[in-house]
């Protein structure tokens, strides 16, 4: 009974599950005992760090939300993947971790037996998508093994399909370096490239422009997040009023409270990212070693930041115009009486910058600017549309920030609402056809 109780306790702790998966993979890869030990502890510590950082984020987001509601008389939300994942873990932590592992396995199987040869290596985005899938599918009514199997299938399938959708644009953006996009903002990047292709001229590259080195601080996501959040907190505090902020501060002077709350938010984001890096650093090699031996002609799908050196000027332009799109989108949402989506620096910097790179690859300066601007509008409207899908599990105060999360969440949520679990199984069948059909087609 004690052994059974121990096993049950281990399986109920997501951090320990990640450690076990990493340990099994490292042992299978015939790593030395010291590497197995270090590689198994990394994901455990990383997950605990993720939880600690996300707690800081959520606590400091609460004050910002209250000030926005008081000052503007509307509901304000800062899309943040880390914050909503933290919320999801308190309800569906076990399911999220199981979907993550199942999704990685499905990704390898799909890459091995279909023509979608992409191995998705951006582990923290796989983790975020697993949290989204657990939340949406549980809202629809799935649970237990059924929830884990279907969620893992969707995660693995999209991990292989999403890089393939825009690989022709990725080849242009990287000068044919043989990598793929492994980031779940991909649909926004491909749309930016499509827009650039239609309205721009790729010979007029952003890289022919000169940008002041004084803007280089924007590359430090922690510093730029802190600066941006100080601005947002300050505006919200001024509108909400001295007395209201004082009531939230616990006796601290409102100016100091606002300043430190903004900085703590940035610190929380930094802690979460460090935790995610620890998880990814040891969990993914367990799968990569297997994939290298079993999956010939596989292509690595990597994080969007890997693409930044290909067009550094487009990074700054993309961020600026994406953020501008987010601000305009915020005002449009407010005028329409919708939930106010406050532009978050992290999604607009990373996703906006990448949209700029893709837009530049097909349409030069004009493609980078307009493509990234449209991406910014998507980062305002799509999270607002996703909120009702997540609200049933109490996630109404936060939402996912990147385009793919919103599209997948809205699609599954709407199908589930209209057709129930039958509709979800129908989507599984459609995805299977998409995966299998190319096997029976001639290669060009």
pLDDT tens digits for range 287-326: 565 556 667 777 878 888 778 888 888 888 898 899 899 9
DSSP string across 336-355: HT--EEPPPHHHHHHHHHHH
pLDDT band at 391 (very low <50, low <70, confident <90, very high): low
Q: Average the pLDDT over 235-253 and give the result.
A: 87
Res 267: pLDDT: 86
CA dihedral in degrees (357, 359, 365, 367; nearest 10)? Answer: -170
pLDDT band at 380 (very low <50, low <70, confident <90, very high): very high
pTM here is: 0.75
Would you say residue 149 lies in a domain? yes
Domain that holds residue 409: 91-217+281-440
Query: In terms of Cα–Cα distance, which of 94, 88, 181 is closest to 128?
Result: 88
pLDDT band at 218 (very low <50, low <70, confident <90, very high): low
Instruction: Give yes or no for a contact between 27 and 36, defined as CB atoms under 8 angstroms apart.
Output: yes
Cα-Cα end-to-end distance for the chain? 60
pLDDT band at 217 (very low <50, low <70, confident <90, very high): low
Res 436: pLDDT: 93
Res 42: pLDDT: 84
Res 164: pLDDT: 96
pLDDT band at 412 (very low <50, low <70, confident <90, very high): very high
Rounded percentage of the chain residues whose pLDDT exceeds 90: 31
Res 148: pLDDT: 92
Would you say residue 301 lies in a domain? yes
Place of tokens 């998705």: 120
Res 378: pLDDT: 96
Q: Average the pLDDT over 212-220 and give the result.
A: 61
Q: Average the pLDDT over 115-124 and give the result.
A: 86
Res 291: pLDDT: 58
Instruction: Give yes or no for a contact between 398 and 84, defined as CB atoms under 8 angstroms apart.
Output: yes
Query: In terms of Cα–Cα distance, which of 173, 296, 410 is closest to 181?
Result: 173
Q: How many structural domains compose the chain?
A: 1
CB atoms within 10 A of CB 294: 12
Place of tokens 């919320």: 87
Would you say residue 423 lies in a domain? yes
Q: Average the pLDDT over 414-430 and give the result.
A: 92
Would you say residue 400 lies in a domain? yes
Measure the CA–CA gap between 65 and 353, rounded to whole angstroms.
27
Question: Can you read off the two tokens belonging to residue 387?
Answer: 């909120």
Res 349: pLDDT: 79
Q: Does an H or E element contain 181, and which?
A: strand 180-181
Would you say residue 354 lies in a domain? yes
Q: Average the pLDDT over 236-255 and give the result.
A: 87
State yes or no: pLDDT of 92 exceeds 90.
Answer: no
Res 205: pLDDT: 86
State yes or no: pLDDT of 329 exceeds 90.
Answer: yes
Res 52: pLDDT: 82
State yes or no: pLDDT of 12 exceeds 60.
Answer: no
Between 70 and 147, residue with greater pLDDT = 147
DSSP bridge pairs for 299: 118
Would you say residue 237 lies in a domain? no
Would you say residue 63 lies in a domain? no
Would you say residue 7 lies in a domain? no
């Amino acid at each position: 009974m004690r052994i059974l109780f121990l096993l049950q306790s281990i399986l109920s702790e997501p951090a320990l599950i990640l450690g076990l998966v990493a340990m099994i993979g490292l042992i299978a890869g015939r790593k030395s005992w010291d590497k197995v030990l270090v590689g198994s502890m990394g994901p455990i510590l990383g997950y605990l760090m993720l939880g600690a950082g996300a707690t800081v984020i959520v606590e400091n987001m609460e004050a910002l939300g209250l000030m926005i509601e008081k000052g503007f008389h509307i509901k304000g939300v800062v899309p943040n993947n880390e914050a909503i994942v933290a919320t999801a873990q308190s309800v569906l932590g076990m399911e999220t971790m199981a979907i993550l592992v199942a999704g990685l396995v499905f990704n390898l199987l799909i890459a091995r037996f279909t023509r979608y040869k992409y191995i998705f290596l951006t582990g923290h985005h796989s983790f975020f998508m697993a949290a989204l899938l657990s939340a949406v599918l549980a809202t629809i009514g799935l649970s237990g093994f059924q929830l884990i199997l279907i969620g893992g299938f969707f995660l693995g399938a999209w991990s292989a399909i999403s890089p393939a959708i825009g690989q022709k644009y990725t080849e242009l953006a990287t000068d044919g370096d043989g990598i793929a996009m492994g980031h779940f903002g991909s649909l926004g990047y491909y749309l930016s490239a499509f827009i650039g292709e239609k309205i721009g001229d790729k010979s007029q590259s952003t890289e022919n422009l000169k940008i002041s080195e004084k803007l280089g601080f924007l590359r430090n996501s922690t510093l730029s997040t802190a600066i941006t959040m100080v601005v947002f907190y300050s505006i919200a505090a001024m509108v909400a009023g001295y007395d209201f902020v004082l009531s939230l501060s616990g006796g601290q002077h409102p100016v100091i409270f606002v300043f430190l709350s903004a900085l703590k938010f940035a610190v929380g984001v930094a802690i979460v990212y460090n935790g995610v890096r620890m998880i990814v650093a040891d969990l993914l090699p367990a799968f990569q070693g297997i994939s290298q031996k079993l999956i010939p002609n596989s292509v690595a799908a990597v994080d969007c930041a890997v693409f930044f050196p290909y067009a550094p000027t487009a990074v700054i332009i993309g961020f600026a115009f994406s953020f501008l799109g987010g601000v305009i989108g915020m005002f449009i949402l407010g005028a329409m009486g919708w939930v106010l989506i406050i532009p978050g620096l992290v999604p607009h910097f990373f996703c906006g910058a990448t949209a700029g790179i893709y837009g530049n690859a097909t349409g030069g300066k004009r493609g980078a600017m307009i493509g990234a601007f449209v991406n910014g509008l998507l980062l305002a409207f799509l999270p607002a549309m996703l909120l009702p899908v997540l609200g049933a599990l109490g996630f109404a105060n936060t939402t996912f920030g990147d385009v793919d999360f919103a599209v997948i969440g809205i699609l599954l949520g709407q199908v589930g609402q209209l057709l129930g679990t039958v509709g979800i199984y129908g989507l599984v069948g459609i995805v299977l056809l998409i995966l299998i059909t190319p096997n029976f087609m001639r290669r060009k």
